[in-house]
Every structure is written in structure tokens, then in C-alpha cells.
């Protein structure tokens, strides 16, 4: 299958440059692109261009596409878009790095810069810069307004957002916040683990928090050093300097298991209730 490229400099419809890269293509001339070697499988999760279900990578840009043959890089400038199936990357600039392998060329990394958006039919992720490692099937977003949104959850961060496509894992670093319904989880780092839902969509399974973890619901505010939230059961487990606050009431301990559905909480001192330290609480009677 041959890669085709059409340069539409004189077209009245915005004059966009369109290049279609098909699996199995090879470098055949100045206007040709390169073979795409994507990893993963046909059931790969949303946001991923690295799916092995056939088809090609389509690239568009307002200001044209530059092929630097000696540097083995393809650069799309101006409202650039890379699409494959229902997944796409939008950015001011896209760079596709490729390498030679067995007489062919394959893309191994995509770098998106400026107003970056990764999207599928269900999920959207945004940032200032994205580096997509095709070999590892992982994308790392940095910059401002870092956000990953599914139909039911929103994950934000200040330092970086990672999405591991094959494992369906999103990692938010730096003042990370996860919002799921009326529950808000915070931590220095949050790791959201998803599983395949209907139609290959992401469904939240659990969130692991590390460092200054807090969970807020309409009735409770829970603080700990580390925590795990099970989205299937609604149970959160926190360890390390745990505090549970409900209205004016507060309970302190080393470990807490909180059922966010029923509001029932259990605190212990060292995980098994056999430590020398004591669980402490301040209970304020409700006024009429």
C-alpha cells in the first residue's frame, strides 16, 4: 500500500495540506511519508492512536507539512491534526519522528506543541505539550490546563498528566484532583485505573493517592498521607495521620476505611487495632 500526499495550496477551502499514511507504506519520494508501526490491539482504550486494528494515520495542517529526511522527522504546522479512526491529536504543531527498520520506516514518537487536545468519541485530554511514545503506548501532557475528562470523571494536575493506553492508567502529578460525581479526591499524585466498558470506553475502577490525600463528599472530609478509592464499592481506605471530619465532629487515627455510600467509617491505630496509640475523636452534639 502506497502513502499518498496531496498539497492543496491553491484550494479555496482554507488551503490545508493533507497527508494520509497507510500501514505498510514505505518512503517512495519527496511527497511520501513513512510506514506506521503502531502497538496495542484492536480493543485499545480511548485517546490512543496506537491501535493495531488497521488503517492509516491522517495528518492535516494549515501551513503545510515539512519532511526533513536527514533528521527523519515530519513537521505539520498551523492548526495541525493527526487522526486515526475516532482518535485524534490537535495542536499548533505536530512532529512525527520515524526510524528505519527492516528496510522500511516507522513512526516511534509524536510531539504535539501548543493548544494540545487529544480526543476520542468519549474522552478528551488537554495541555500545552504532549509527547506520545508509540513503543510504550503512553502519552505525557505538560503545561497549563492539564485535564483528562471521561463521561463520568475529570482528572486535573499542575505538573504532568500521563495516559498509559495499554494498561488504561492515567497518572496526575502535582496538586492532582479527581472529580467523580459528588466526590472529590486530591493528592500530590493520583493514579486512576480504568477498565474496558461498553464499546471499549473507559470505566473507572480505582484511584490511588500518594501524598496529602483528601476525599470530600457532601457530608465528610477525609485526610490521610496515602489512600485508595474503590469506585466499584465506594469504599476509600486511607493511612497515615488520618482525620475524618463531619460537620463539627472529627475522628483521628492511623488508618480509616470509609464507606462513601453509607457514611460508615472505621478507624484503627496501626492497621490491626493492636497498637499502643489510641484513636481520638471530638464529637459535638447537634443542637435543636
Please indicate, yes or no, whether the overall pTM of this predicted structure exceeds 0.95.
no
Give me the pLDDT at residue 126, please.
Answer: 96
What are the chain's domains? Answer: 1-144 (no CATH), 150-288 (2.60.450.10)
Retrieve residue 2's grid coordinates.
Answer: 502506497
Give me the pLDDT at residue 78, please.
Answer: 94
Contacts 24+ apart (CB under 8 A), 1-7: 1/25, 2/28, 2/32, 3/28, 3/32, 3/33, 3/34, 3/35, 3/56, 5/31, 5/32, 5/33, 5/65, 7/31, 7/64
User: pLDDT grade, residue 44 (50/70/90)?
Assistant: low
Q: Could you report the per-residue pLDDT of 101-146, keeping only the tens digit for each?
A: 777 778 889 999 999 999 988 899 999 999 999 888 899 999 999 9
Q: Could you report the per-residue pLDDT of 216-234, keeping only the tens digit for each?
A: 988 889 999 999 999 999 9
H-only helix segments in 30-159: none
Task: Look at residues 200, 177, 179 and name the one whose alpha carbon lies nearest to residue 187.
Answer: 177
Q: Are 90 and 127 in contact (CB under 8 A)?
A: no
Give the integer Cα–Cα distance in Å for 118 and 109.
15
Give the integer Cα–Cα distance in Å for 223 and 192.
18
Give the integer Cα–Cα distance in Å for 81 and 116.
10
H-only helix segments in the chain: none
- Write down the mean pLDDT value for the chain: 79
User: pLDDT grade, residue 285 (50/70/90)?
Assistant: low
The answer for 47, left when phi > 0, alpha when psi is -120 to 50, beta otherwise, is left
User: pLDDT grade, residue 4 (50/70/90)?
Assistant: very low
Amino acid at each position: 500500500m502506497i502513502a499518498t500526499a496531496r498539497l492543496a495550496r491553491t484550494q479555496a477551502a482554507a488551503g490545508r495540506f493533507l497527508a494520509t499514511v497507510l500501514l505498510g507504506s514505505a518512503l517512495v519520494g519527496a511527497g511520501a511519508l513513512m510506514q506506521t508501526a503502531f502497538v496495542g490491539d484492536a480493543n485499545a482504550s480511548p485517546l490512543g492512536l496506537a491501535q493495531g486494528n488497521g488503517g492509516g494515520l491522517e495528518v492535516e495542517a494549515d501551513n503545510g507539512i515539512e519532511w526533513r529526511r536527514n533528521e527523519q522527522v515530519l513537521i505539520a504546522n498551523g492548526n495541525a491534526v493527526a487522526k486515526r479512526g475516532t482518535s485524534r491529536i490537535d495542536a499548533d504543531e505536530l512532529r512525527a519522528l520515524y526510524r528505519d527498520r527492516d528496510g522500511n520506516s516507522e513512526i516511534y514518537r509524536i510531539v504535539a506543541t501548543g493548544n494540545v487536545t487529544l480526543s476520542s468519541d468519549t474522552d478528551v485530554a488537554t495541555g500545552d505539550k504532549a509527547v506520545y511514545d508509540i513503543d510504550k503506548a503512553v502519552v505525557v501532557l505538560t503545561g497549563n490546563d492539564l485535564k483528562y475528562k471521561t463521561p463520568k470523571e475529570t482528572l486535573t494536575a499542575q505538573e504532568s498528566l500521563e495516559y498509559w493506553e495499554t494498561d488504561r492508567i492515567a497518572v496526575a502529578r502535582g496538586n492532582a484532583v479527581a472529580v467523580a460525581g459528588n466526590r472529590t479526591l486530591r493528592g500530590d499524585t493520583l493514579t486512576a485505573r480504568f477498565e474496558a466498558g461498553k464499546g471499549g470506553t473507559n470505566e473507572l475502577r480505582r484511584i490511588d493517592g500518594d501524598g496529602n490525600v483528601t476525599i470530600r463528599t457532601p457530608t465528610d472530609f477525609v485526610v490521610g498521607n496515602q489512600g485508595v478509592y474503590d469506585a466499584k464499592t465506594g469504599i476509600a481506605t486511607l493511612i497515615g495521620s488520618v482525620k475524618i471530619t463531619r460537620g463539627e465532629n472529627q475522628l483521628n487515627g492511623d488508618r480509616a476505611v470509609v464507606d462513601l455510600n453509607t457514611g460508615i467509617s472505621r478507624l484503627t491505630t496501626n492497621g490491626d487495632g493492636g497498637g499502643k496509640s489510641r484513636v481520638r475523636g471530638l464529637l459535638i452534639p447537634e443542637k435543636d
